Amino acid sequence: MILKLLMSSNLFKGIGIASIGALILSPDVLFMRWSEMDVWSMLTWRGIEMGIILILFSSCFKIFRTNFKNIISPVGFGIICCQIISSFFFTYGIAETSASLILFTLATSPIFASIFSIFILGEKTTKSTWIIACLALIGVGISMAHGDNVLNAPQGSVLVGTICGIGAAASLGLSLVLLRYQPNIPAMTITGISALGNGIIGLLIVSPHLLFEGDIISISLSGLIILPISFACLTFATRYTQASNIGLLMLLETALGPFWVWLGTNETPNIFMISGGVIVICSLAWYILVDQIKISFWKPS
């Protein structure tokens, strides 16, 4: 049964597309670092550029145009709010503290999605979910406890950065559950609208003289290329493979993101942060492989 599933062309297509999306997304934080912009400037450039590209791209497909009306609903509004909050927390966290801590913390979003699914979708959560959640939080705790000793990282508050990472993970997890609750909402379009909303909020708050300070090319490479292409790939991949497979491949960003940042800026996490990150990644990989994918492998046809 497993061999038959692995040989499925749709499975390979979905995993391939999702892998491309995750790999393209992995250096995103590096370009945020290279831009040397403040939080609101990054939010403005990334949001407006990504939003316009995703909305224009999704409008080329009839299915997105047909389902656009489903965005105008309480669930659609909830998804937009969750994605705006998640993006803000992520951007603020990256500006506040080390990229490793934020990425390791953000990786816990599948755990939050499982917890929210209990209340919104009425799904049962297995004992292993709670065990993995505890292990992941232990990993985050280890990383946070030694987050001050990161070479060349922003000198902000590690506690604030951790709160931002958890807030980003929780709001992202909730948005994923709401998308499952209302599958007729076009994911790519609503992500574009949320990104555009982020950009507009940033534009209203940012000081005009700061908007053009920093490396605009770096932040635009992220907003115009990295984010739209990666999110388009990840969205299309859901047509061919399960969300659990995509979640597993998204760990590529968690693992590779700190590496790219270290390579490009010499921001070097200490051994404790690396150990905490390994606990988070291995726990989530085990959760997705055993508690999610294994169920589908052995599900009777």
pLDDT in tens, 43-60: 999 999 999 999 999 888
Specify the pLDDT at position 298.
Answer: 43
pLDDT above 90: percentage of residues in the chain: 39
The type of residue at 194 is S
pLDDT above 70: percentage of residues in the chain: 87
pLDDT for 301 beyond 50: no
Q: How confident is the model at residue 31 (pLDDT cuts 50, 70, 90)?
A: very high
pLDDT for 1 beyond 60: no
Across the chain, mean pLDDT equals 84
Specify the pLDDT at position 199.
Answer: 96
Specify the pLDDT at position 9.
Answer: 60
What share of residues in the chain are helix, strand, coil (percent, to 5)? 80, 0, 20
pLDDT for 10 beyond 70: no
Q: In this predicted model, which residue has the larger pLDDT, 12 or 143?
A: 143
Specify the pLDDT at position 94.
Answer: 93
Query: Of the ranges 122-126, 151-155, 283-287, which one carries the lowest mean pLDDT score?
Result: 122-126
Query: Of the ranges 45-54, 73-82, 131-140, 291-300, which one carries the lowest mean pLDDT score?
Result: 291-300
The 3-state secondary structure of 125-153 reads CCHHHHHHHHHHHHHHHHHHHCCCCCECC
For helices 127-145 and 109-120, angle between their N-to-C axes, nearest 10 degrees = 140
Q: Which helix (H) or strand (E) holds 279?
A: helix 271-286
pLDDT for 3 beyond 50: no
Instruction: For the chain, give every domain's residue range.
Output: 25-297
